[in-house]
Structure 1
Amino acid sequence: MTSSKPRATGESGATPGPGAAFRAARDFLLAHREDWQAAREGFVWPRPAEFNWALDWFDTIAGGNDRTALRIAEEDGTEAAYSFDALRRRSNQVANWLRERGVRAGDRVVVMLGNQAELWETALAAMKLRAVVIPATPLLGTADLADRVERGRAAHVLVRAGDTGKFDGVPGDYTRIAVGERTDGWHCYADSAHAGDTFTPDGPTRADDPLLLYFTSGTTARPKLVEHTHTSYPIGHLTTMYWIGLRPGDVHLNISSPGWAKHAWSSLFAPWNAEATVFVHNYTRFDAARLMAGMDRAGVTSFCAPPTVWRMLIQADLRALRTPPREAVAAGEPLNPEVIETVRRAWGVTIRDGFGQTETTVQIANPPGQPVKTGSMGRPGPGFTVVLLDPVTGEPAGEGEIALDLSDRPVGVMTGYAGDPGRTAEAMAGGYYRTGDIASRDADGYLTYVGRSDDVFKSSDYKVSPFELESALLEHEAVAEAAVVPAPDPLRLSVPKAYVVLAEGWEPGPGTAKALFAHSRAVLAPFKRIRRLEFAELPKTVSGKIRRIELRERTARGELSGGGDEYREEDHR
């Protein structure tokens, strides 16, 4: 809220304030959506002292607006649609009902829901109440939830009725709210339908008030607790909107599991910043044909998916999609060039990479209308100054750790790691936010991803980027997914070892291994060649990122996956 005197939000009626400043910044980016230089030079972050995105922005655009804000397609073929105005009124009801259940400003709420309307209702309601949301994926088990309740200091949990049993072993004095059928000992979310649909906030929302606490996916260590405010994600994701290329009236599909930051990126803030429709395709098992049929039926104009989904999609007949999206983007991990080229040939659309983290919004990207260089993740986005720091000297370099200059702090950067001042100080040392990712910069300012600082390794004193080798492997038709890690070697210290998931129609064995080693020799420099190979499923976090640390540790111990064989290049020439 923007003033000390609260106002009711039963009907739309915005007053000048941070909502107007937000709109002006939004409209500037829309006007320069294909002019990166002008957007970089002219964009200024709105920095209001008080701002509540749900009240000052969403309710403003939603009042009396019957356009579809959210459309959910279920696996059984049924669909449901919700207008902007319906979600405004419904979130008011939920906010009033949650307040009656004891939810107050500053309270922390674990929200563990699937892609269902209640997820969006709750997100808006929590913002209006100034509660702090701890998003959680329904894939989590009791131990993970206990960690989130304890370290997150949760006062309330709001989960699907079918998941309430997971909390039987989670200690704590917290309010229990179940979405779905009535459950003993739990408040029933459906009762919120009886609450009033006019909401009056109980005070102003300071821009630096906490809004979200995200547990990172933990690819290398215990998950960190990332804190975002009422501006860092809502306002910060103006740059995500810009990268995707969203326009008012678009229909945007983002493949992401609730509970992870990317879901808030592209299934909440970025599309509704643009006044676009969020389209959700629910599925339990990925089916490319069904996905493309749903995209055609919904008229999807922009599509975002993680590399894992893109790699599965290109195994199907992409020509089944009759009306390809105008915009196609990928994030989460760098997308391999072979995937981009396959989609370009089938759809006539170039997938544009973007780079960001749970800790930030989009920092680096290929926005619409700009030349895309094969293998590059693009250039710094509006509002971000990106510096590459040499890992040894800490000085700016042509290749180094991606770092954000905090001298003019971008809005889209986290407050820090909650409850961990040591980690926060380390990440923000020297006036930079340090990402832990390595990249190189060319003469035109384009950045190319090299790898996580702890994934890059040396072989015969040469630095090896796993991503580059994985991309080379994916050029072969036999490879659906690949991960490369160092394997101990008495002569070279370490050599590249590939763990490969085969495409449909290929069988593991010496014949396939020989073909992949031959491909490696043909496309890679001698010091980069794959020297060891194993056919195995790749361990991943629940958010779908490859856990290379697990593969590195397994390889260092000399362990094989599931009793399979390890193939050596010298034996298969």
Structure 2
Amino acid sequence: MVDSRAYEEFRTARDHLLEHRGDLDGARDFPRPRAERFNWALDWFDREAAGNEAIGLRVVDLDADGATLAETALSFAELSRRSDRVAGWLDGLGVRRGDHVLLLLGNQVELWETMLAAIKLGAVVIPASTLLSPDDLADRVDRGAVRHVVAQSTLAERFAGIGGDWTRIAVGAATEGSAGWLDYADADRHSGAFRPRGETLAEDPMLLYFTSGTTSSPKLVQHTHRSYPVGHLSTMYWIGLRPGDVHLNVSSPGWAKHAWSNFFAPWNAGAEILIVNQPRFAAKPLLDAMVRHGVTSFCAPPTVWRMLVLEDLAQWKVPLRELVGAGEPLNPEVIERVRDAWGILLRDGFGQTETTAQIGNPPGLRVKPGSMGLPLPGYRIALVDPLTGAEVTGSGAEGELCLPLDSEPLGLMTGYQDDPARQAEATAGGFYHTGDVAFRDDDGYITYVGRTDDVFKSSDYRISPFELESVLVEHPAVAEAAVVPSPDPVRLSVPKAYLVLAPGHRPDADTARSVLAFARERLAPYKRVRRVEFAELPKTVSGKIRRVELRGREHELHGGPEAPTRGPAEFWEQDFPRETP
């Protein structure tokens, strides 16, 4: 039941973007696929995979020392055949169009097989992180109306207390916790014949994502067979992927960035997906693997980049062409260190679970240090005054980053499932509201300022945490930084930095003095960091810093009427009076 029109429309759009590399204006004129019926796995992946013996997926498992424990490489054709077998087997188990299927799998071949199979069936996939607790999973099974679960056998015990009538499928050797679960290996014995039950509409739901919840409980984001596969043409363009590339993305399953860069964007381009699994992240073995497997395109979150630049990257001769980062803004210091080592510009981009890549620095265009870049094909960006709700136009504008709904944003979700209040708030005034504040310069480049709830005032001056953090990480002792307002009786609040130190540095007064002096020399007086504390940063399971926890801690420490208390490794600029102007 391959829809030839859907395939041709998608292929034409994809090829237009590939042909307009370095020509963003021309790329924005790409013909949008608008077929009423579209199933990406059937109409695009299987069609491209037919007879295609090029490697589509390579999964490499390393031990703690970086030695290869196992390696599996599958061609596009084999992935198509294997996912057909899984789809036929799941169909026999009663998985039907519209059923919600929760996946609790690591970076293993079965994840890609099951994703493709579920899309072919028209089922709705709920990706879940292997780090989730039993309570987290119970919430997803309940709010996600889950009908089927495919999980690692070693994780099956986390579902022990979760009742309900849902199919249980375990991947891997049987464990005590997976007793009574169906064995995924039985799919290998299926004949392989698969015929979908009916047609897939492009607007049918395909994916449900629970957001990472940096400031609130997770929202349930719904995407369709159009919004995500077609939407990720913008992501493919931003990364700069080409047919035949070897693309490595450091990301854990269960989060949107994994689907961005480990599923849709590479396979939209016809690139190989390389997965490097490590028992614990270590920069050197990862870099060795990049050289060994000829990585041409690499994406990692800023946390990983900040660890990578602690190494002498120039020692690794990787055949890289494209480097990108996403998840949180990239600090200019990290970008410069990478360029000094490899001669390649690390490019920033912006998007959300609710969208695909909205803004970015695509290859071939001028990059402005510190800027997220320009609106990508399929997106028009508006900056909106949070007080009036009106769009702020012209150069020098600053406001909430929004997507005008009448512009038909390419990869925008259909909405927050079963949450009309949140949906109404997110789409008020004819815009989709991202909750992020940004600045637009004379050339239209957009620079991230911060979350609407992260930006704060000190002595009536508006402070962007990201700007201060970018300065702090330039100090050789600082690996990561998170700036939040710390209550102050005179200034209302003052900037305080929570710092994670680079190896070889001690969390003592000498380090604090050095960091405060370093920041003071590089920041305007009203932006001065006045307090620092050495501590681990609280993060979501997807790796984003939970500043909401740090703000709460500051109110506990310093928000009361009594004399403020100090954190266990906290230092104030008053501690160094001779150095305080």
Query: TM-score normalized by structure 2?
Result: 0.95
Amino acid at match of 1:551: L
Shift of 1:75: 1.1
Amino acid at match of 1:117: V
Contact 1:45 1:410 in 2 (8 A): no
Contact 2:535 2:569 in 1 (8 A): no
Name the SS of the counterpart of 2:449 in structure 1: strand
**Counterpart in the other structure of 2:561:** none
Shift of 1:561: 11
Amino acid at match of 2:32: W
Name the SS of the counterpart of 2:284 in structure 1: helix
Shift of 1:169: 1.4
Q: Percent identity?
A: 61
Contact 2:557 2:565 in 1 (8 A): no
Stretches of structure 2 that go unaligned for 5 or more consecutive residues are 559-563
Shift of 1:563: 5.9
Q: Deviations for 1:229-268, whole angstroms, at most 9, x for unmatched residues?
A: 0111100000000000000000000000000000000000
Q: Deviations for 1:269-295, whole angstroms, at most 9, x for unmatched residues?
A: 000000000000101211111001100
Is 1:38 the counterpart of 2:42? The answer is no
Matches of 1:519 and 1:315, distance apart in 2: 19
Matches of 2:534 and 2:120, distance apart in 1: 50
Structure 2 matches for 1:20-169, cutoff 5 A? 20-40=8-28, 42-76=29-63, 77=68, 78-169=70-161
Matches of 1:115 and 1:46, distance apart in 2: 30
Matches of 2:154 and 2:72, distance apart in 1: 21
**Counterpart in the other structure of 2:537:** 538
Is 1:258 the counterpart of 2:253? The answer is yes
Q: Deviations for 1:2-40, whole angstroms, at most 9, x for unmatched residues?
A: xxxxx3xxxxxx663111100000000000011112112
Name the SS of the counterpart of 1:206 in structure 2: coil
Matches of 2:357 and 2:565, distance apart in 1: 36
Matches of 1:457 and 1:563, distance apart in 2: 21
Is 1:332 the counterpart of 2:327? The answer is yes
Name the SS of the counterpart of 1:259 in structure 2: coil
Contact 1:376 1:448 in 2 (8 A): yes
Name the SS of the counterpart of 2:348 in structure 1: strand
Q: Deviations for 1:196-228, whole angstroms, at most 9, x for unmatched residues?
A: 223111100011100000000000000000000
Matches of 1:565 and 1:304, distance apart in 2: 34
Is 1:558 the counterpart of 2:557? The answer is yes
Shift of 1:562: 11
Shift of 1:405: 1.2
Shift of 1:512: 0.3
Are the structure 2 counterparts of residues 503 and 429 from structure 1 closer, same or farther at C-alpha, using a change threshold of 3 Å? Answer: same
**Counterpart in the other structure of 1:10:** none
Query: TM-score normalized by structure 1?
Result: 0.96
Are the structure 2 counterparts of residues 509 and 430 from structure 1 closer, same or farther at C-alpha, using a change threshold of 3 Å? Answer: same
Name the SS of the counterpart of 2:125 in structure 1: strand
Name the SS of the counterpart of 2:311 in structure 1: coil
Name the SS of the counterpart of 1:91 in structure 2: helix
**Counterpart in the other structure of 1:483:** 482
**Counterpart in the other structure of 1:192:** 187
Name the SS of the counterpart of 1:363 in structure 2: strand
**Counterpart in the other structure of 1:367:** 362
Matches of 1:59 and 1:275, distance apart in 2: 12
Name the SS of the counterpart of 2:188 in structure 1: helix
Are the structure 2 counterparts of residues 73 and 445 from structure 1 closer, same or farther at C-alpha, using a change threshold of 3 Å? Answer: same
Name the SS of the counterpart of 2:480 in structure 1: strand
**Counterpart in the other structure of 2:573:** 569
Structure 2 matches for 1:168-247, cutoff 5 A? 168-182=160-174, 183-247=178-242
Shift of 1:91: 0.2
Are the structure 2 counterparts of residues 561 and 34 from structure 1 closer, same or farther at C-alpha, using a change threshold of 3 Å? Answer: farther
Contact 2:3 2:38 in 1 (8 A): no
**Counterpart in the other structure of 1:452:** 451
**Counterpart in the other structure of 1:3:** none
Structure 2 matches for 1:240-389, cutoff 5 A? 240-389=235-384
Matches of 2:360 and 2:566, distance apart in 1: 39
Matches of 1:464 and 1:413, distance apart in 2: 30
Amino acid at match of 1:468: E
Shift of 1:321: 1.5
**Counterpart in the other structure of 2:467:** 468
Contact 2:240 2:363 in 1 (8 A): yes
Shift of 1:565: 2.6
Q: Deviations for 1:356-396, whole angstroms, at most 9, x for unmatched residues?
A: 00000010000000111010000100111100001111112
Amino acid at match of 2:488: D
Contact 1:289 1:320 in 2 (8 A): no
Name the SS of the counterpart of 2:206 in structure 1: strand
Stretches of structure 1 that go unaligned for 5 or more consecutive residues are 1-6, 8-13
Contact 1:248 1:274 in 2 (8 A): yes
Name the SS of the counterpart of 1:376 in structure 2: coil
